[in-house]
Amino acid sequence: MTEAAVKGKGAEGAGSGLEAVRARLAAAEAAAGRPPGSVALIAVSKEQPEDRVRAVLEAGHRLFGENRVQEATAKIAALDGALRPRWHLIGHLQRNKARRAAGAFAMIHSVDGPALARALDRAARELGRRIPVLLEVNVAGEPSKFGVKPQEAGDLVREVLACPYLEAVGLMTVAPLCDDPEAVRPVFRRLRLLRRPFPGGGGARPPVPGAHPQRLPLVRPRPRPGRHARGRRRDPRRAGAGRSGRRALPAGVAAGRGRRRP
């Protein structure tokens, strides 16, 4: 899909981009033998102005991903309303912002250590809610990426399973940024192997090929449409930046690519 598909103003232009992304996703689900709607689509709204995000919201999309707590909380306050969007934190989270994140996001994708898990668990207890989380593993071992080492993933899983106010949904990794999805498949295959020893760790679904070439290289990801649904980032300096008890982990691994340390 070309960028021109989303250059119109308001919900009409955003709707064109969304429909194109959804069509590609539906085709990929069908090719993989998955039921329609089995893969969730996250519109990455980080660094986007409120009016552009509102246009995507008014076009019918409800699930958004934000990268920074401070930026996101202001946007959430402005856009939460009758349309009831859901917000996920997809960027790195510092412990000192755990309480704000716990109160703002429906799900947190980047739990990258036991200390952060405990901080989120305390915050969730104070708020009286249980937070779904993904556990981040730096499978590729890139120094620019966050996440525990693969050999430390088991300790992190056990830590989160012991937190009564956290719900461990799955593992997540950020693969090296490259144009060839085949080059990063080994990273996500290893991630699948890491989760197998744990409760609910077997039976991960097969890949969804082609649903979103830059964001969907393996199982149960939440594809992030990026500029296809909401246009290019406005800041040209950032263009091209890469970046108690045992509870079962549902069969699935979330995956992303290109997120780097700030």
What CATH number is associated with residue 15?
Answer: 3.20.20.10
pLDDT at 247: 41
What are 34-84's pLDDT values in tens digits? 899 888 899 999 888 898 899 899 888 999 999 999 999 999 999 988 788
Q: How many domains does the chain divide into?
A: 1
Residue 242 in domain = no
Q: What is the pLDDT of residues 129-151, one digit of tens each?
A: 999 999 999 999 999 999 999 99
Residue 98 lies in a domain: yes
Q: Is residue 241 part of a domain?
A: no
pLDDT for 261: 53
Tokens 């991903």 belong to: 65
Q: What pLDDT does 28 receive?
A: 86
Q: Is 245 inside a domain boundary?
A: no
Most confident option among 6-15, 30-39, 154-163, 251-260: 154-163
Global pTM reads: 0.73
Answer whether residue 238 is part of any domain: no
Asked whether residue 160 is assigned to any structural domain, the reply reads: yes
> Range of 205's domain?
3-230+250-257
Encoded tokens for 82? 């009758």
The model's confidence at residue 235, banded by pLDDT at 50, 70 and 90, is very low
Looking at residue 203, what is its pLDDT?
Answer: 35
For the stretch 157-203, pLDDT in tens is 999 999 999 999 999 999 898 888 788 889 989 998 998 777 665 43
- Which pLDDT does position 253 carry in this prediction? 46
